[in-house]
Amino acid sequence: MRQDFKTTLLLLSVAVVLASCGGLLNSDKPADKTFWLSPYSTSHSSGLSADAPDLALSVKVVPGLDSDHLLTMSPDAELNHYEGARWPDHLPEFAGSLLRRSLQESGRFARVSDGRNSGSQDCQLDLEIKRFYTQIDRSGMATSVQIYMSGHFDCQGLSKPVKLAASAAVSGQQLTDIVSAHQRAMDQIFRSVPGQLGKATE
């Protein structure tokens, strides 16, 4: 009887260990989805001029936005995020790359880099992202995407403040609807860039 009890106890212990290992290897939580935004490109962009300047672009974010999550903002100013949804990188790197590629596509600059250049004809654009999230209502429903960034532009004797703002309504409650609204908002931002940078880059 004692041997049967020991055998039963051993089998139960093995079953518990195997069940624990199975829980570590198999999770009911779905894998994170990574979403992408495309750089803005105009089909009617003029060719690059021979004297187009280089541009050094610096991008930083306010505290709370340095994340790769798709963030939300409630009416009570609660910053949160959508579970299981991410950008390819944290916002400074992700948005900085998107801005650089879009500015390079514009044909206004010979080269767009992420560091400060030393050439006397080079331009410098410093931006800080202050809003980059989905506005939700009190029931948690997405209503709009809000993006706002500001900073300073110096180029060929021109020095001026820059403010770039966009808002795009969310047409549905799926993650793809929210990402689509982010794309429309970023496209708005890029369309406003020429007017913000002024004559120095024309």
Which residue in 90, 88, 183, 178 sits closest to 140, CA to CA?
178
Q: How far is Cα of residue 130 from the mean position of the Cα atoms in its chain?
A: 12
- Give the span between the Cα atoms of 93 and 57, in whole angstroms: 12
171-191 pLDDT, tens digit each: 999 999 999 999 999 999 999
- Please report the pLDDT score of residue 35 as a whole number: 98
pLDDT above 90 covers a percentage of the chain that reads 65
Confidence at 15, pLDDT banded by 50, 70, 90:
very low
Query: Is the pLDDT score of 122 beyond 50?
Result: yes
- Please report the pLDDT score of residue 196 as a whole number: 87
As a whole number, the mean pLDDT across the chain is 84
Q: What is the pTM of this model?
A: 0.81
- Please report the pLDDT score of residue 125 as a whole number: 96
Q: Please give, one letter per residue, the 3-state secondary structure of 19-52.
A: HHHHHHHCCCCCCCEECCCCCCCCCCCCCCCCCC
